[in-house]
Structures are given as C-alpha cells and as structure tokens.
Amino acid sequence: MSKKARPRIYNRAGQQVQVQDKTWYALQASGEAAERVIEVFVYGEIGAWGITANQFVQDLRAMDDGVSEVIAAFNSVGGDLFDGLAMHNALKRLGERCTGRIDALAASAASVAVCGAHKVVIAANAMLMIHNPWTYAAGDAEDFRKVADVLDQTMEAIIAAYKAKAPDIDEGELRRLVAAETWLTANEAVALGLADEVGDGIKVKACLGQGGVLQRYQHAPAELLAQLDELPEPDSELEPDDPPPTPPVIDAAKLALMITQSCAEAGISNLVAPLLSSTKLESEDIVQAGLIRAKAVNDLCVAARLPEFSVEFVAAGLDAAAVRARLFDKIVGSGKGFEIDNSLPLDEDPPPKVQAKQIDQPSIWSARQAAHAAKPQSATGARR
C-alpha cells in the first residue's frame, strides 16, 4: 500500500469543517471533558479507493476516550463491502453513545456501515440505498462457482447487518428490497427501521460530486444525478456591474518550482514531467489541483499494484474516477482474483476479460517421461 496522506483531525472546539474534495474524510472533537463530542465524517468511497476500514478504526481509536459521544456522518456512494462491515462493527462496539448521521447519501456498503450505529438520524432530503453484493471476476467455470458462493455468503452478512438495526423488519420483504436495488427516502428508511429519526435537511454539494460512480447503479434517482450536474453558484459578493477581475500575472518558473518541490515532498518526483505537461502552468489553482489529483492517482495505482501506470494517467489528465475504471479493467484482465465491491460498472467500462489457462509445458514433459518409464522394456532394450 502507498503512504496515504493522513486525514485531517480537528481538536479545536467550534472549528468549522470545510468539505473540499470528492473523497474527503476527517475527524474532529469539540467541547470540554464531559461535553466532548467526536465527529467522524465519511464523505467518499469506502475501501481501498477511498476510506479504508483500517484507517477509519485506527483514527477513531486514537481520538476516542471511551466516554464521549461519537457521531459518524455519512455521505458515501459505498464501495468495498467487507470494509463497510468492519465499520458497522466498529460503530456497534461503541454502544449507545454512537449516532450515525446520513447527511446526503448512504448507499451500498455505506448503508451497511451506518446501520452499526445505535441511533441513525437521516436528513430530510437524504437517501439510503440497499442492494445485492456485486463484483468483478475472471477465470474458469470453477472460479466463477466459487465467486457465486462467496456472493451468497456476503448476501447473508448484508441481511444480518440490516436485521441487527431493524429486528422487526420482515426478512422476505427486506430481501426483495435488497435484490431490487431500493433507494429509500428519509421517511421510508425510518418506516423500515433502518433509521430512527428524520433530521433537518442540509445541502452537502461538494461531496455529492461523484456522478461517475453513482451511474454504476441501475436505479439511481434522476433528481440525485441532476444535482451533480448543476453549475456552481456565482459569487454573491461580485455585483453584476462590477468589472471582471484583472487576471493575475503568471510566474511559470515559480509554478514549475512548486510542482518540483511538492512532488519531492510527496515522494512522486517521477510525476513532475507529466504534471508540467497536463497543467501547462496555467495558474496556481490549476497547479494545486493537479498536485492533488496526481497524489490521488499515484495512491490508486500503488494500491492496485500497478504503479507503472501513474505517469501515463497523470499526463493524460485523468481524474480518480477514470483511473479507477482503467485499473479495474487491468486488474480483472490479469485474472488476479476478485474483490467484493457494491458498485456496478460504468456504462463505458469495457467488459471483463476471461483469460484461458496457459499451457504448462514442464508439467506435460514430466508426465510423458513418467509414462514412458512405466512401460515394459523390449528384450533388445532391457537393462542388465
């Protein structure tokens, strides 16, 4: 695994948390002693592509004092099921002092995770989505039978997680809703028992910018996808009659030095050249965004054990979603196993490749030699 940037952890009471990234994760603690509240923000994909269960548990453990109230806020499209189950169990161990809060969306593995909280509060305009486990796979018929068995077993884990939160729910109806990929409104989630109360509606625009991932699902609500395509609101401080701001003077040498130094500090000096090419040193904002993107792309490539592709992807200006799609294709095509991931492939994703087994020449030669040695020798060729 790569050296990921540590999550931002806030300890100052009253400090405002700014959401700036599509895969954003942070912890903060506020208040004094007995009134201390720990908030965990899971805003992004769950698993190796975003927020891992190990990262979540270790950071929570480092901040938890064993008595403070813990609020786990979710706005996630889901991801790796096993990481979601691990988060579910981590929240469940906190007992009555843990509240799960769905700020905008808890889909797939995120819905499993949030149901581990003792109490779940869902915003009035938020949604909770449940569906069958899904995965990529490659191999022969026996490999696919094993994958199907694993999917059946993980399905039971999903049902158990929901039933733990809503013990009175009809299991047959629950299985039907899961199989149909059901998007629940706040009131519907409460009616089923998967949430306990409806909270105030909020707008978490910055972290809903995951349209490419949401399109993996079959029945994502059109109104939810439409939010992702909205143009950013204009700056209210700029009056209509105000003249446009004077463009800043670009110091290309300074920006190039910024890229070189930042890459060296992050251990990605091999990405200096592709960053210079992809950002074209147009502005400091573009360079900063390019550096963030390059670090994310490098982390994804290293996590997928394909670091050799980071230069190519950064030079092409690909974002994290596009890199994930390409890495999935390369991993599946290599036949190196499978991962249970509660997200469907994008429409433009190429179909998985099934590789035929390679001929094992040494084994064939050994078998022939053994067969030859076992045959009775002729009279003329018999040994003394």
Strand locations in the chain (E): 8-10, 24-30, 37-43, 69-76, 98-107, 119-123, 127-130, 182-185, 197-199
Q: Are 126 and 102 in contact (CB under 8 A)?
A: yes
- Out of 47-61, 85-99, 148-162, 355-369, pick the least confident: 355-369
Same domain, residue pair 311 and 222: no
- Residue 325 phi/psi, 5-degree rounding, is -60, -45
Q: Is the pLDDT of residue 131 over 80?
A: yes
Residue 144 belongs to a domain: yes
Phi, psi angles (nearest 5°) of residue 292: -60, -45
Q: Report yes or no on 234 lying in a domain.
A: no
Q: Are residues 19 and 90 in the same domain?
A: yes
Specify the pLDDT at position 166.
94
Does 214 map to a domain?
yes
For residues 200 and 300, state if they share a domain.
Answer: no
DSSP string, 247-296: PPPP-HHHHHHHHHHHHHHHT-GGGHHHHHHHHTT--HHHHHHHHHHHHH
| 322 & 276 share domain | yes
Per-residue pLDDT, 301: 87
In a domain, 292, yes or no: yes
Considering the domain architecture, whether residues 204 and 106 belong to the same structural domain is answered as yes
The pLDDT, as a whole number, for residue 9 is 28
Q: Report the b/e string of 113-151 with b at 16+ CB within 10 A.
A: bbbbbbebbbbebbbbbbbebbbbbbbeeeeeeebeeeb
Span 283-310, pLDDT tens digits: 888 889 999 999 989 988 888 888 889 9
Cα 149 to Cα 153: distance, rounded to the nearest angstrom:
6
Could you list the residue range(s) of the whole structural domain that residue 297 is in? 252-334
Domain count across the chain: 2
The answer to whether residue 40 is domain-embedded is yes
Type of residue at 235 = D
CB 270 within 8 A of CB 295: no
The answer to whether position 63 is within a domain reads: yes
Same domain, 217 and 261: no
Residues 128 and 16 in one domain: yes
* 278: CB partners within 8 A, 6+ apart: 290, 314, 315, 316, 317
Instruction: Choose from 108-112, 132-136, 361-365 the range with maximum mean pLDDT.
Output: 108-112
Predicted local confidence at residue 133, as pLDDT: 86
Residue 252's pLDDT is: 78
Distances (CA, A) of 378 to 56, 125, 368, 370, 382: 73, 88, 18, 17, 6
Residue 345 covered by a domain: no
* Final residue of a structural domain among 193, 228, 263: 228
Q: Would you place residue 18 in the very low, low, confident or very high pLDDT band (cuts 50, 70, 90)?
A: very low
Question: Residue type at 198?
Answer: V
* Helical axes 272-279 vs 284-303, angle rounded to 10°: 130
pLDDT tens per residue, range 38-85: 998 888 888 877 788 888 888 888 888 889 999 999 988 888 899 999
Question: Which one-letter amino acid corresponds to residue 151?
Answer: L
Q: Is 239 inside any structural domain?
A: no
Domain boundary among 296, 317, 334: 334
Whole-angstrom distance, CA of residue 78 vs CA of residue 383: 71
> What residues form DSSP beta bridges with 152?
none
pTM above 0.85, yes or no: no
Q: Which of 17-31, 58-72, 134-148, 151-165 has the lowest mean pLDDT?
A: 17-31
Kindly tell me if the per-residue pLDDT of 203 is higher than 70.
no
Is pLDDT larger for residue 9 or for residue 94? 94
Q: Note whether 82 and 52 are within 8 A (CB).
A: no
Phi, psi torsion values for 242, nearest 5 degrees: -70, 140
pLDDT of residue 352: 53
Region 17-43: mean pLDDT is 60
Residue 2 has pLDDT above 50, yes or no: no
More confident residue, 1 or 295: 295
Residue 26 has pLDDT above 60, yes or no: no
3-state secondary structure of 91: helix
pLDDT of 1:
36
Is residue 211 domain-shared with residue 305, that is, in the same domain?
no
Q: What integer pLDDT is reported at residue 109 of this predicted model?
A: 92
Q: Label residue 159 by pLDDT band (50, 70, 90).
A: very high
31 DSSP 8-state letter: S
- How far is Cα of residue 101 from the mean position of the Cα atoms in its chain? 18
Looking at the fold, whether 171 and 300 belong to one and the same domain comes out as no
Q: Confirm if 32 and 16 have CB atoms less than 8 A apart.
A: no
Beta-sheet strands, E only, within 64-201: 69-76, 98-107, 119-123, 127-130, 182-185, 197-199
Query: Which H helix or E strand runs over 142?
Result: helix 141-165
Summarize pLDDT for 306-357 with one digit per residue, the tens.
Answer: 888 999 999 888 888 788 878 877 765 555 555 555 555 555 555 555 455 5
Nearest alpha-carbon partner for 194 in 222, 214, 223, 164: 164
For residues 208 and 276, state if they share a domain. Answer: no
**Average pLDDT over the chain, rounded to an integer:** 76
